[in-house]
Amino acid sequence: MNKILLLIDKLEETGELSLEEYEFIIQNRTAEIAEILAKKAVELRQKYYGDDVFTRGLIEISNFCKNDCLYCGIRRSNKAADRYRLTEADILECCDEGYELGFRTFVLQGGEDGYFTDDVLCSIISKIKVKYPDCAVTISMGERSYESYKRLYDAGADRYLLRHETADKEHYQKLHPSEMSFDNRIKCLYNLREIGYQVGCGFMVGSPYQTAKTLAKDLKFIETFKPDMCGIGPFVPHHDTPFRDEKAGTVELTCFLLSLIRIIHPRVLLPSTTALGTIDPRGREKGVLSGANVVMPNLSPVSVRKKYELYDNKICTGEESAQCKNCLSMRMNSVGCKIVVSRGDINKERS
């Protein structure tokens, strides 16, 4: 207990710990320590963001994917997946609805679908930016070339989400087929940063073969890369993937890591994810009480929501966007926070 608290003091003072120290904290955590960390994390969240929770309207634009990630329900080998892609008109309609509801960030996420060439995506991005210049556009469409990222950026994309999935190369290889490369994924994150995007990385908690050692590397990566956003959520098995019989991640460890990440990088934009809400009915509230400050309600047309099934029992697939937004609004109020109408950029000034 004392040793962990001393390490946390050191982290707060110097902004860094060694891999062994992170590993020690993860391995020796207790409910009591988690509570102390959550309190510190919430104080830091309040210092930089008050009680504001930022929202992002998530539009799941395609579930076609050329990749075969072993954990993911929309992997190309899943023949049972009912594939769809949204048209430009569909996507713009989602933005119209989202704008009305107060969203000022739209996240276009999807599998690595060859249909979404640079030309197609640039046209969509620039149309959104012309219509809604006060909004941020975030892309989350996987690995692309430097030139491709640059073109999307020049068309108006502001942010890019690309979870690194794990910062341990061997672990990465156990989660992905051999044609996918850890080095390329990390390279993509650095390319995005160089181009000028606000960049988000992240990982699943409790993914198969994850250990305190691999998690320590994730924390070290966050400490050094200093992403603008960091998406973490529990791994949840999908019944049509090789990991169907693996155990899901826990709320406890996810919340503990959310608090640690807030302490490592106090200004980071940290979502309380849908996956966390899936494994616990109050998961997203618990995430905010552990230091998260972003929620990403679903803005996809209800007709496709069930098809974007990355994992089993995903929540919020039946309601209209307005219902989702209201439900989350009430949930955030229940933990003393409020959803705000704002682009919700990272706080680089106030302290």
Interaction of residue 111 with ligand SAH, rule CB under 6 A: yes
Q: Which of 57, 98, 142, 156 binds ligand SAH (CB under 6 A)?
A: 142
Tell me if 290 contacts ligand SAH by CB under 6 A: no
Q: How far is the CB of 167 from ligand SAH (least distance, A)?
A: 13
Say if CB 33 and CB 260 are below 8 A apart: no
Residue 277: CB minimum distance to ligand SAH, A: 12
| Burial state string for 322-341 with b = 16 or more CB within 10 A and e = fewer than 16 | eebbeebbebbeebebebbe
In which element (H, E) is residue 137 found?
A: strand 136-140
Residues contacting ligand SAH: total by CB under 6 A: 19
> Does 63 participate in binding ligand SAH (rule CB under 6 A)?
no
Contact 191, 146 (CB under 8 A): yes
Q: Answer whether 70's CB lies under 8 Å from 243's CB.
A: yes
Per-residue binding string, ligand SAH, 234-253, x by CB under 6 A, is: -xx-x---------------
Residue type at 176?
H
Window 3-42: contact mask with ligand SAH (x via CB under 6 A):
----------------------------------------
C-alpha span between 55 and 316 (Å, rounded): 15
Least gap, CB of 309 to ligand SAH (angstroms): 9
If the CB atoms of residues 78 and 140 are measured against ligand SAH, the closer one turns out to be 140
Residues 154-173 that bind ligand SAH (CB under 6 A): 162-163, 165
DSSP designation for 165: B
Segment interacting with ligand SAH (CB under 6 A) among 46-54, 86-94, 136-144, 219-227? 136-144
How near is the Cβ of 94 to ligand SAH at its closest, in Å? 17
Question: What amino acid occupies position 41?
Answer: A
Q: Which of 25, 26, 72, 95 binds ligand SAH (CB under 6 A)?
A: 72
CA–CA separation, 317 vs 300, rounded Å? 9
* Cβ contacts of 61 within 8 Å, gap of 6 or more: 85, 86, 91, 108, 109, 110, 116, 141
Spatial strand order in the sheet of 52-55: 294-295, 52-55, 338-339
Task: CB nearer to ligand SAH: give 155 or 189.
Answer: 189
Nearer to ligand SAH, 71 or 182 (CB): 71
Yes or no: say if 232 and 204 are a contact pair by the CB < 8 Å rule: yes
Residues of this chain that bind ligand SAH (CB under 6 A): 71-72, 109, 111-112, 140-142, 162-163, 165, 204, 233, 235-236, 238, 275, 310-311
